Structure 1
């Protein structure tokens, strides 16, 4: 496994080891650790055009989650999407705990992570930017390969209701579609944040604040009663920054 990814996986294990067995925080953290391991393997297998860049991106992306997690555990300042996810009732089904974390991390953290590893010069170079976008999209293949395994993991752990299990084949297809949809929206939001970054820090902060509000609202929506994947099939997974005011 690449050194940077391996270090992140170890950090995640340290936090897992410190959590009590019944903590709702374990569900997303465990899922994320397994997914990060899969990304590390994909890098070694040469599944990306620029494996070094993907490793840097993966570490930066994970760090945003770990920073939010540490702030929550240490009673620090936590971004709103993560605060809602972290403060969800511990007895929520495991599937919903995982979806809360995925939603906060993809919708709010991922555009920020991409901006941190795509420079202004990269954005100005169509060939480099296209390569970055292709590697961003290639992550879908890695994540999609984990959908069935993670679905089975939730079933074995008792984290799914009878209805969830009955809908399992549909859920797996829907999850893959959500991944594609979210990636497209994330790329749009990354471009919007980049335009703001070129304008200046104040403009960027405003747009990031808008993304925080939109992402928090989507996480909160997942806490509403009902079959969450069916609701996502109607409402969609990602969020979209509107044109700047």
Structure 2
């Protein structure tokens, strides 16, 4: 991604709001988009509130990060084949046996464990930074993601009395942890940084990362018995 390709945070928000207004309710991408829109609105608020050490750098990261998701949307809309990490969400987005929280968690899994480390690397290389210089703000973004993820779980999980789907649903979404995802994402940043001057190894590792993240997302999107 070149400097001319980078959107602004406001442009990202405009695009997400456009998607929110046009995607059918209950569509898996619509569920994830709504959650991610909330995260991006929080980031924008924090950019003006001295929350980050490097607001300009974080504005860039936020836009580069979001662009990976929006690129997947554009690829799917044009009939193309998305990267392996995003493929489960787009292939299963209309499955009536998948609960909305599964779409939200699967989208977060893909975006945090795959898109976030690659976005951090893109920004570090473009801005002449080393990962350690962006680490504090990286964790601040993750704190916002965790805040919204907790809200989504509270809003979307069924009431305890809905035992028909609650038991298998809790099993499926309970295997994923945002804390472990954040740790894995930072480990990927550090590992990929060491490979930045070894393009063949870098490409092999990023391809494997996309495939493994996609495999977990597909497991998170295991359909429950009957429409949810």
Pair 139,159 (structure 1): closer, same or farther in 2 beyond 3 Å: farther
Pair 153,208 (structure 1): closer, same or farther in 2 beyond 3 Å: same
SS of 2:79 mapped into structure 1: coil
Number of the residue aligned with 1:115: 121
Q: In 2, Cα distance between the equivalents of 1:221 and 1:85?
A: 11
Preserved CA contact (<8 Å) 2:113 2:181: yes
Number of the residue aligned with 2:184: 185
Number of the residue aligned with 1:231: none
RMSD over aligned CA atoms reads 3.0
Map residues 217-228 of structure 1 onto 2, 5 A cutoff: 217-224=215-222
TM-score using structure 1 length = 0.76
Which stretches of structure 1, 4 residues or more, deviate above 3 A after TM superposition? 158-161, 163-167
TM-score using structure 2 length = 0.81
Pair 12,183 (structure 1): closer, same or farther in 2 beyond 3 Å: same
Which structure has more relative contact order (CA 8 Å, sep 6+)? It is: 2
Preserved CA contact (<8 Å) 1:85 1:100: yes
Pair 164,58 (structure 1): closer, same or farther in 2 beyond 3 Å: farther
1:88 to 69, 92, 103: 92
SS of 1:224 mapped into structure 2: coil
Q: In 2, Cα distance between the equivalents of 1:59 and 1:89?
A: 24
Q: How far off is 1:151 after superposition?
A: 3.2
2:110 to 101, 104, 114: 104
